[in-house]
Chain A
Amino acid sequence: MALAALDLDQALFEGLCRLGDSTLVLGHRVSEWCGHAPVLEEDIALANVALDLIGQTQMWLGLAGEVEGKGRDADTLAFRRDVWDFRNLLLVERPNGDFGHTLMRQFLFDAWHQPMLKALEGSGDARIAEIAAKAGKEVAYHLERSADLVIRLGDGTTESHQRMQTALDKLWPYTGEMMMADATDQALAGAGIIAAPDSLRPAWDALVGEVLTEATLKPPEGRYMHKGGKQGTHSEHLGHMLTEMQWLQRAYPDAKW
């Protein structure tokens, strides 16, 4: 089937929602820690990461709204869509769990996010390249921090090692989706707008492998990977998050905030 311009615009809208929804949902999850982290420096660092991700969401969803051309802005997309319209990765909607689980989720995401943004800097769409360059600077720091903490806690005490290993075992089956392409990805990659998801695999494997080895952690044996988030089929967790996040906008639809 030949791809008409209309279809490419649709794919672009979908692709931007995938980016913006993933940063939104992860930013929200990270912000749930506010005031509850194990040390003050972590409270500050987590707020920083959440802030960066929310800022990136404003850019990605802002552009998505523009591309769609139906008058929806970033807030409308974030606060007025229901679960099935969200396009985030399943990994980022996983609940926080303990602090080790939160950190491991962050690391597995950052290890994809950073090279993915690097590749997007070369996007044929200048607006995307510009956002990617801006976000990439922030995400380089996220990755440095999360990789460092995974190493230190993996190779810390018996308990910290065990907690990090458990987190890795639980989260691993949600990592495959980042590198799995569907028709939308293929259309966008074919048009030179994004890098093909599977092209990011070698960089992710190498980085994750190196960090986990230094952390004395091992990926689980199982190869099964969950998928569906990018197409709008989510876990039960996302609906609860949206219930909380969207409450004011839903309860008072005429209000300006």
Chain B
Amino acid sequence: MYAQMVTSEASNEDPEKLAAFQARIDAGEKIEPKDWMPEGYRKTLIRQIGQHAHSEIVGQLPEGNWITRAPTLERKAILLAKVQDEAGHGLYLYCAAETLGVSRDELTEALLAGKMKYSSIFNYPTLNWADIGAVGWLVDGAAIMNQVPLQRTSFGPYSRAMIRICKEESFHQRQGYDIMMKMAQGTPEQKAMAQDALNRFWYPSLMMFGPSDRDSVHSAQSMAWKIKINTNDELRQKFVDQTVPQAEYLGLTIPDPDLKWNEEKGGYDFSEPDWSEFFEVIKGNGPCNAERMEARQKAWDDGAWFRDGLMAHAKKRAAARVAAE
């Protein structure tokens, strides 16, 4: 769930075309980049896929924070491979967005200018090694909840990117849980780290699904277009139901005194996260917003000479080829 609160745009196009488009979606057909599509559909998708791509890129930072301190060679290799997968996901998603007529550089500039968002979760810090486990278990776990249904999304390139991404994300989630097992079964200090990680990541993970969208017009439009498949509340409930037994197995306590199995609904009752905190994080006031954006800005600025150098060399080569012909 790396796209939160994506505003969908209404479309004021020819009603006949709109109806034909909707009929294709209802029939389960995939929309491909060259097909006609409502402007609102295109813009909403650019926003959603772009936000998802940015989340993958910014998401490298909290995990990258532990690569140089990973406790064994194997853990270091696994973490490196995971962060590399995330950069790869960013790449497929930017490519999917490019098919809608926006370049990767334009999306990057919009992110750096604060005009586009990334998931709120990456504005939380990774403070102990168990956080790397918790990120895989909870954050990737929450992301999978949303991304599995998105494999069936109506836009072809997005759907195909999701199919690839989901395979890797499930692997990451298992690796995260494996770290949690080691920590939860380890020394008293390791157990304390595991519990501390769960305490800090539980509510931010619930926030990843976004606030309840019961009354949201945008959600209704996105759901009709099959850009969004389930409501935020459905996904959050599914996540809690899946995660609670996993925490019990680890012998860890979910930091919610009101968490209780509800026989009637066949799911857990649980406390809502503090939505005022969520809105502050979205506004830029989370614990790491400033650092995350500074890191991305610095990478972009420091890399300018590198990108320019490669372009200049490519031009020289092209000119030399022309001269030789």
Contact = CB atoms under 8 A, between A and B. Distances in A.
B299 A37 contact: yes
A156 B94 CA distance: 26
Contacts of A99: 302-303, 306
A28 B60 CA distance: 16
Contacts of A257: 71-72, 75, 129, 182
Contacts of A75: 72-74
B303 A37 contact: yes
A156 B71 contact: no
Given A32-B68, A256-B182, A256-B186, A156 B309 contact: yes
A54 B313 contact: no
Contacts of B90: 40
B308 A156 contact: yes
B60 A157 contact: no
B183 to A, nearest CB: 8
A78 interface: yes
A159 B80 contact: no
Interface in B214-255: none
A245 B71 CA distance: 8
Contacts of B189: 252, 255
B308 A40 contact: no
Interface in A9-39: 24, 28, 31-32, 34-39
Given A32-B68, A35-B61, A35-B295, A44 B88 contact: yes
A163 B299 contact: no
Interface stretch (A45-53, A81-89, A173-181, A225-233): A45-53
B115 interface: no
A41 interface: yes
A62 to B, nearest CB: 9
A47 B57 contact: no
B71 A79 contact: yes
Nearest to A54: B77
Contacts of A37: 299, 303
Nearest to B108: A40
Interface string B281-325: 000000000000001001110111111111111101000000000
A54 B129 CA distance: 19
A41 B313 contact: no
Nearest to A100: B306
Interface string A233-246: 00000000000110
Nearest to A160: B309
Contacts of A255: 71, 186-187, 189-190
26 contacts: A35-B64, A35-B87, A35-B295, A37-B299, A38-B300, A38-B306, A43-B87, A44-B87, A44-B88, A44-B91, A47-B80, A51-B77, A57-B73, A61-B73, A75-B74, A78-B73, A79-B71, A100-B306, A153-B310, A156-B313, A160-B306, A245-B69, A249-B71, A254-B187, A255-B187, A257-B71
Interface of B: 57, 60-61, 64, 67-77, 80-81, 83-84, 87-88, 90-91, 94, 104, 129, 182, 186-187, 189-190, 295, 298-300, 302-314, 316
